[in-house]
């Protein structure tokens, strides 16, 4: 049996949930509330890829790409030669970057595609029932294209999604589409006390989880509480 290449994220507890890490030709989605470490997870992933001398396309829809935070996580790895950052102003521009993906790949052999976040510009443009219907269709088409291009070019794709809360339940924006086109969906959830958070593998909108792993956000990124406990012994 052939095994698809796997790209470790550099976070052992995340890789454990993702069966080794990001898988080639497949989309992995991470969602969670603010301050759960979604972008930090993306930064650690691109740092780990740069260490392998592989390149990343980073689509920054929130215009918050933070080189200082990246250097804080790892000040020994120079990512500058291994990343191209794009900052679309509109959801239409975000979609266009995927249409131009072939040209980008011809310029440089990128392997990791990160979209942080998939839902920001989409959410900002919602203003009427009519537009919601049209944008929802565009979002589904956008995710379908990401899925197809990821498979076509053998990319490792990481999508970050914002959330919405309804009746006490937190779900990713565009939930059904994300589950349809993602190989794995990972939720980062705040704990009730202290700074502890939990990484949870989602199996779908109904059947939820295998296990949840506790973690904390440190200056050096996301670390499982078990890793921190071992380091302090």
Pairwise CA distance, residues 183 & 226, whole Å: 26
The class that CATH gives domain 6-232 is: alpha beta
pTM: 0.91
Report the helix count and the strand count for the chain, using DSSP H and E. 9, 13
Residue of 193, 185, 103 whose CA lies nearest to 143 = 185
* Cβ-based neighbour number of residue 72 at 10 Å: 15
Least reliable range by pLDDT among 25-34, 92-101, 119-128: 119-128
Pairwise CA distance, residues 190 & 187, whole Å: 10
Is pLDDT above 50 for 56?
Answer: yes
C-beta of residue 122 within 8 angstroms of C-beta of residue 174 = yes
Which two tokens mark 91?
A: 């959801």
Percent of the chain with pLDDT over 70: 88
pLDDT at 166 (0 to 100): 72
Pairwise CA distance, residues 169 & 198, whole Å: 16
C-beta of residue 184 within 8 angstroms of C-beta of residue 28 = yes
Q: With the CA atoms of 29, 158, 153 and 141 taken in that order, what torsion angle do they form, in degrees rounded to the nearest 10?
A: 50
**DSSP, residue by residue, 84-110:** EEE--SSHHHHHHHHHTHHHHHHHS-E
Least reliable range by pLDDT among 17-21, 162-166, 189-193, 203-207: 203-207
Pairwise CA distance, residues 44 & 13, whole Å: 13
- H or E, element range at 216: strand 209-218
> Where are the chain's structural domains?
6-232
Least reliable range by pLDDT among 147-151, 152-156, 193-197: 193-197
Contacts of 112 (CB under 8 A, 6+ apart): 7, 22, 45, 46, 49, 54, 55, 56, 57, 155, 156, 157, 158
How sure is the predictor about 194, in pLDDT bands with cuts at 50, 70 and 90? low
């Amino acid at each position: 049996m052939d095994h698809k290449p796997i790209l470790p994220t550099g976070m052992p507890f995340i890789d454990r949930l993702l069966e080794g890490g990001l898988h080639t030709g497949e989309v992995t989605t991470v969602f969670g509330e603010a301050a759960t470490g979604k972008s930090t997870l993306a930064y650690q992933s691109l740092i780990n890829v740069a260490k392998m001398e592989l390149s990343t396309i980073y689509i920054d829809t929130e215009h918050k790409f933070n080189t200082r935070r990246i250097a804080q996580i790892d000040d020994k790895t120079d990512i500058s030669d291994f990343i191209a950052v794009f900052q679309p102003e509109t959801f239409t521009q975000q979609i266009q970057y995927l249409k131009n993906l072939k040209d980008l790949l011809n310029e440089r052999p990128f392997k990791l595609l990160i979209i942080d976040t998939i839902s920001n510009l989409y959410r900002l443009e919602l203003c009427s029932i009519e537009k919601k219907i049209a944008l929802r269709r565009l979002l589904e088409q956008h995710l379908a294209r990401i899925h197809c291009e990821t498979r076509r070019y053998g990319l490792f794709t990481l999508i970050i999604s914002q959330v919405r809360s309804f009746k006490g339940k937190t779900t990713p924006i565009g939930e059904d589409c994300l589950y349809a086109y993602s190989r794995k969906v990972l939720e980062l959830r705040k704990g009730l006390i202290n700074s502890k958070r939990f990484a949870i593998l989602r199996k779908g909108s109904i059947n939820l989880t295998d296990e949840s792993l506790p973690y904390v956000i440190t200056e050096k990124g996301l670390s499982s509480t078990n890793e921190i406990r071992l380091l302090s012994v």
